[in-house]
C-alpha cells in the first residue's frame, strides 16, 4: 500500500536498529513509555521489540481509551441502553468491555437492549434522522483524536434540528494523564526515561502542550506516528536525548503534526465542551481536569443531563495491578490475576480489556517471548 509500506520497510528498520544498537550504551537500561495504544499495537504487530537491544524496555502506557474507561461509566451506558426508548450507538471495541458483575454491552444487546455498532459519528446522526421516534444516544469515547468527530456530530444535529440525538460524553485528555503518571509516581520506583508521544492526538493538539513536560519533569518526549518505522525512529531519537542529557519535546511525525495542531478542531472543541473538575480513569484513579463534558449551551445534546444519569462507582478487583502496570512500575507477570482469572476472554482489569492494553499485548506477545527464552535455555 502506497504511503504505508514505506513506513513498514524491514530493510530501513534493520538500518535504524543497527544505529540504536551502536548508540545505546551497554552499561545502562533505557525505559520508554509509549503512551498510545496505537504504538502498543504497532510494537506487538510488527515485533518491534525483537529488533531492539535487550537493554531497551518499552512500557505500554494508558493511551488506550477503552482500557481506561471506568467500570462505572460502562454500567451507566448499560443502564441507559435498557431504556426501551433509547438506541445506544457505540464504537465496536466497547462492546466487550466488562462492567460490574460480568455485564457488558454485548450481553445487554443479547438481553434485548437496542445497541448498534457504528463506525463513525455520522452513522449515529443517520440513525437519528431515520428513526425520529427513538432517542439516539452516541457513546462518545476517546482522546483528543475522537473528540472533533463528536463535536461535528453535535454541530450537525444542531443544524439539522434533530431533537432525538444526544451524546454520553467520555472524552479524556492526554496531557492530563501524562502529568498524573509523572506527578504521582515515586521517581525511584518509576524507571521511565522518556515518552513516545501520541500520534493522532498530536495532529489535533499540536506539539506545544508537550514542551511543559520536557521542561518541568525533565523527561524527553518524541511524538511519533503509528507505523513501526516511526516507533523505531522515535526510540533512536529518545536514546540520543538520554545519552546527551537532553529533555526536549521532539517531533518525529512531521508529516502530520505541526506545532499548533488543528486550530479549527480546537476551536470547535472549545466551543462545545468544557473541562470536568475531575474524572475517573480505570487503573489510574481520579485525575483532575482530565476529561470533557458538554457546555451548558449544549445541554440538550448531553445524555447525562437529558436522562438524569446518575454517577456509578464500581471497583476493580483489589488484586488487579493495572494501576502499577500502567505506570510502568510493575509488569503484567507480576499480577496474580494475569493469565489465571484475567485473560483476553475474561478480562478483569483495564490492561486486558482491549488488544492494545499492556496485559493483552503481553498475553499475545510476551508469553511467546517467554516460551522462546525457555526454548533457548
Partner 1 sequence: MNKILSLGRKLDLRHGRVDLSHGAGGRAMARLIADVFHAAFDNDWLRAGNDQSAFDVAGGRMVMTTDAYVVSPLFFPGGDIGLLAVNGTINDIAMAGAKPLYMSASFVIEEGFPLADLQRIAQSMGEASRAAGVPIITGDTKVVERGKADGVFISTACVGAAQIELSLSGDKARPRDAILLSGSIGDHGVAVMSRRENLCFETDVLSDTVALHELVAAMVAAGGPSIRAMRDPTRGGLAATLNEIANQSRVGARIDEAALPIKPQVAAACELLGLDPLNVANEGKLIAIVAPEAAEATLAAMRAHRLGAQAARIGEIVEDDCCFVQMRTTFGGDRIVDWLSGEQLPRIC
Binding residues for partner 1 (CB under 8 A): 1, 4, 8-10, 13-14, 17, 36-38, 41, 44-51, 65-66, 91-93, 95-96, 106, 116-119, 123, 141-143, 145-146, 200, 228, 344-345, 354-356, 364-365, 367-368, 371-372
Q: Closest distance between partner 1 and the C-beta of residue 376, in Å?
A: 13
Q: Which is nearer to partner 1, 93 or 252 (CB)?
A: 93
Q: Closest distance between partner 1 and the C-beta of residue 369, in Å?
A: 9
Q: Which is nearer to partner 1, 179 or 200 (CB)?
A: 200
Q: Which is nearer to partner 1, 95 or 236 (CB)?
A: 95
Q: Which is nearer to partner 1, 8 or 295 (CB)?
A: 8
Q: Which is nearer to partner 1, 65 or 349 (CB)?
A: 65
Is 14:173 a contact under the CB 8 Å cutoff?
Answer: no
The Cα–Cα gap between 78 and 115 comes to 9
Q: Which is nearer to partner 1, 68 or 329 (CB)?
A: 68
Q: Which is nearer to partner 1, 143 or 273 (CB)?
A: 143
Q: Closest distance between partner 1 and the C-beta of residue 190, in Å?
A: 25
The Cα–Cα gap between 109 and 357 comes to 24
Q: Closest distance between partner 1 and the C-beta of residue 119, in Å?
A: 6
Which of 320, 329, 314 is closest to 348 using CA atoms? 320
Is 226:38 a contact under the CB 8 Å cutoff?
Answer: yes
Q: Which is nearer to partner 1, 70 or 220 (CB)?
A: 70
Alpha carbon separation from 365 to 62, 310, 347 (Å, rounded): 18, 39, 16
Q: Closest distance between partner 1 and the C-beta of residue 215, in Å?
A: 28
Q: Closest distance between partner 1 and the C-beta of residue 224, in Å?
A: 14
Q: Closest distance between partner 1 and the C-beta of residue 3, in Å?
A: 10
Q: Closest distance between partner 1 and the C-beta of residue 233, in Å?
A: 13
Q: Which residue has the cell 525533565?
A: 218
Amino acid at each position: 500500500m502506497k504511503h504505508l509500506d514505506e513506513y513498514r520497510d524491514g530493510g530501513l528498520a534493520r538500518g535504524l536498529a543497527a544505529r540504536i544498537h551502536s548508540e545505546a550504551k551497554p552499561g545502562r537500561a533505557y525505559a520508554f513509555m509509549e503512551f498510545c495504544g496505537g504504538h502498543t499495537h504497532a510494537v506487538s504487530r510488527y515485533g518491534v521489540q525483537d529488533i531492539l537491544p535487550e537493554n531497551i524496555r518499552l512500557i505500554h502506557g494508558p493511551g488506550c481509551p477503552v482500557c481506561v474507561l471506568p467500570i462505572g461509566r460502562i454500567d451507566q451506558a448499560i443502564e441507559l441502553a435498557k431504556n426501551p426508548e433509547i438506541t445506544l450507538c457505540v464504537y465496536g471495541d466497547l462492546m466487550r468491555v466488562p462492567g460490574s458483575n460480568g455485564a457488558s454491552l454485548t450481553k445487554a444487546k443479547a438481553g434485548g437492549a437496542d445497541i448498534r455498532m457504528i463506525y463513525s459519528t455520522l452513522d449515529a446522526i443517520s440513525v437519528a434522522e431515520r428513526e425520529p421516534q427513538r432517542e439516539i444516544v452516541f457513546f462518545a469515547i476517546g482522546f483528543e483524536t475522537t473528540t472533533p468527530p463528536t463535536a461535528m456530530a453535535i454541530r450537525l444535529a444542531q443544524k439539522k434540528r434533530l431533537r432525538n440525538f444526544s451524546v454520553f460524553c467520555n472524552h479524556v485528555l492526554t496531557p492530563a494523564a501524562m502529568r498524573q503518571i509523572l506527578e504521582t509516581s515515586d521517581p525511584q520506583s518509576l524507571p521511565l526515561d522518556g515518552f513516545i508521544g501520541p500520534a493522532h492526538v498530536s495532529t489535533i493538539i499540536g506539539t506545544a502542550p508537550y514542551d511543559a513536560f520536557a521542561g518541568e519533569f525533565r523527561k524527553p518526549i518524541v511524538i511519533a506516528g503509528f507505523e513501526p518505522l516511526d516507533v523505531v525512529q522515535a526510540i533512536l531519537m529518545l536514546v540520543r536525548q538520554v545519552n546527551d542529557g537532553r529533555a526536549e519535546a521532539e517531533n518525529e511525525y512531521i508529516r502530520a503534526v505541526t506545532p499548533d495542531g488543528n486550530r479549527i478542531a480546537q476551536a470547535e472543541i472549545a466551543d462545545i465542551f468544557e473541562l470536568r473538575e475531575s474524572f475517573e480513569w480505570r487503573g489510574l484513579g481520579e485525575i483532575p481536569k482530565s476529561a470533557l463534558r458538554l457546555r451548558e449551551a449544549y445541554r440538550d445534546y448531553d445524555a447525562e443531563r437529558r436522562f438524569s444519569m446518575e454517577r456509578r462507582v464500581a471497583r476493580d478487583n483489589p488484586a488487579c495491578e493495572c494501576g502499577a502496570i500502567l505506570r510502568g512500575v510493575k509488569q503484567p507477570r507480576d499480577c496474580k490475576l494475569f493469565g489465571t482469572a484475567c485473560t483476553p476472554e475474561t478480562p478483569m482489569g483495564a490492561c486486558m480489556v482491549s488488544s492494545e492494553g499492556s496485559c493483552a499485548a503481553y498475553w499475545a506477545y510476551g508469553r511467546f517471548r517467554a516460551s522462546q527464552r525457555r526454548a533457548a535455555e
